[in-house]
Amino acid sequence: MLATALSASVVGVDGVPVRVEVDVSFGLPGLTIVGLAGSAVLEARERVRSALRNSGFEVPSRRITVNLAPADLPKEGTGHDLAIATAILVASGQLDGAGLRTTALIGELALDGSLRPVPGALALVAAALAGGATDAIVPAENGAESAAIRQVAVRPAGALREVTRHLAGIGMLEALQPTVPQPFTSLPEDAPELAGVVGQRVARRALEIATAGRHNLAFSGPPGVGKTLLARAAAGLLPPLDEDEAAEVSRIYSAAGLTDRRAPVTLRRPFRAPHHTISTQALVGGGPRVRPGEASLAHRGALLLDETLQFRADALDALRGPIDVGSATIARVEGVLALPARFMLIATFNPCPCGWFGTEQQACVCEDGARRRYQARLSGPMRDRLDLLVPLEPVSTSGASRAPTESSAAVAARVRRAWCLQRERQAAPNVELPPAAFDAEHGFAERIHRLMETRARQMGLSLRRVHRAARVARTIADLDGCSEVEPRHLDEALGHRPKPPAP
């Protein structure tokens, strides 16, 4: 007899609906799983067999064939266990299969028949919805995150027995209320409060501009000037995600198995700060079973590369793609996979190995060659992709720079207002404005175009650099509350552009 159950598999950060087909027929007793099942899926044979037996069911001593369709898609993980077990019960006549048509079954089975959580539940339920499911039964621990998909009635269950009773119509599993994204009012725990940063008004201004338009920002300077502190403060300035963005971000975190159980769907923008020893794969994603990398985990948020020049050169170079197109492309035997990765890059680095090159306070003790090799680690193309670069100096002890400084909340409010203005005008943040959008509708008057040309000639700038400055200028105008970009906005943007190091 034949039975079909609905399940899903994670590919990259997206779920793909999977139909679990089970055929119980005469023949040599055994359980075979086909459909490019990975080792964890193959081991489902043992888990399913024990779970069925220990839940009081019978494992038919006949030939059982399980096919996971689409059969050409490699499947990994343990999330198909529940669907396989249930389909076997239906195929062997131990359970009525009427409810299986519209109910997705997701979960890993323990040997005693209880359900264990799986990574990527949110993505799996989203896929099930695409596959035609109206209901989804998920492990209890995955309930809250799965319920973020409103169009599906998500029913958490603790054990196989509960699932079969529900399907048989004996004891219904309650559907969860859709999870509401959690708003936040406080700073993230690890984000420094800007009010505590002494001086560095120029760097603070650049930080505000960068977060307001999601521009790529770099701080350079000697050790101890507060580069990292300022960079981390960006986490407290980013405005909340909107609901669509929140769903997108939650799906990525779910697929990576990094969902915060207490707040499965948050409106807080991601802020990722991987250590510089990170591998290319961990940074942009990949691996035998494709997992999103830090670039994708920072999607819609910020990616801080503290001590950027200490990162592996190939890892840094791998970020070029995501910065340009907003997604990390991973080539697989089965085809090319694109993981979403639109993030604001924040880089910090010393100007040379000892850190003091170009400062007046202390002499640099680095060999020229060593310094140049060090600076060259930030390749030309990467430098090109930075929108603002601020060299920091040790804070002077003069009274003026010790004046009280603004709090993160005050700056965040201005940043948020600038984001609102952008959203009203266009779909994307300013950093993503194509040059074609530098028109009157976006506040670029003819005289700004003329000024762009003039400055390019005077300063010897590439077209790409001028365009980047134009986007930054748009953001500065937004912070200013101006609908038109004015010359002073463009000049300020150019003042923060990355400049060639002194000869």
Instruction: List interacting residues with another protein (CB under 8 A).
Output: 199-205, 220-221, 351, 357-360, 362-364, 366, 368, 372, 389, 391-393, 396, 398, 400-401, 454-455, 458-459, 476, 488-489, 491-492, 494-496, 498-503
In the complex with another protein, which residue's Cβ is closer, 434 or 503?
A: 503
Q: Name the burial class of residue 235, with classes exposed (0-12), middle (13-18) and buried (19+) by CB atoms within 10 angstroms of its CB.
A: buried
List b or e across 281-296, with b for residues whose CB sees 16 or more CB atoms inside 10 angstroms: bbbbbbeeebbbbbbb
In the complex with another protein, which residue's Cβ is closer, 69 or 395?
A: 395
In the complex with another protein, which residue's Cβ is closer, 80 or 385?
A: 385
Q: Is the Cβ–Cβ distance between 97 and 33 less than 8 Å?
A: no
C-alpha to C-alpha distance for 430 and 444, rounded to whole angstroms:
13
- Name the minimum Å distance from CB 221 to another protein: 7
**Cα 495 from chain centroid?**
31
In the complex with another protein, which residue's Cβ is closer, 104 or 225?
A: 225
Taking the alpha carbons at both ends of the chain, their separation in whole angstroms is: 79
In the complex with another protein, which residue's Cβ is closer, 362 or 379?
A: 362
- Name the minimum Å distance from CB 371 to another protein: 8
- Name the minimum Å distance from CB 191 to another protein: 22
- Name the minimum Å distance from CB 237 to another protein: 16
The beta strand positions in 12-152, using DSSP E, are: 14-25, 30-34, 63-69, 103-105, 108-109, 115-116, 135-139
- Name the minimum Å distance from CB 7 to another protein: 55
State the amino acid at position 75 in one-letter form.
K
The stretches of 96-218 forming alpha helices (DSSP H) are 121-130, 143-146, 160-168, 201-213
- Name the minimum Å distance from CB 379 to another protein: 16
Half-sphere CA count of 220, side-chain side, radius 13 A: 26
In the complex with another protein, which residue's Cβ is closer, 83 or 388?
A: 388
Q: Which two tokens stand for residue 126?
A: 């989203």
Q: Is the Cβ–Cβ distance between 118 and 142 less than 8 Å?
A: yes
In the complex with another protein, which residue's Cβ is closer, 205 or 449?
A: 205
- Name the minimum Å distance from CB 222 to another protein: 9
- Name the minimum Å distance from CB 401 to another protein: 6
State the amino acid at position 6 in one-letter form.
L
In the complex with another protein, which residue's Cβ is closer, 277 or 454?
A: 454
Q: Which residues contact 203 (CB under 8 A, 6 or more apart)?
A: 219, 226, 230, 390, 392
Chain position carrying tokens 């958490």: 156
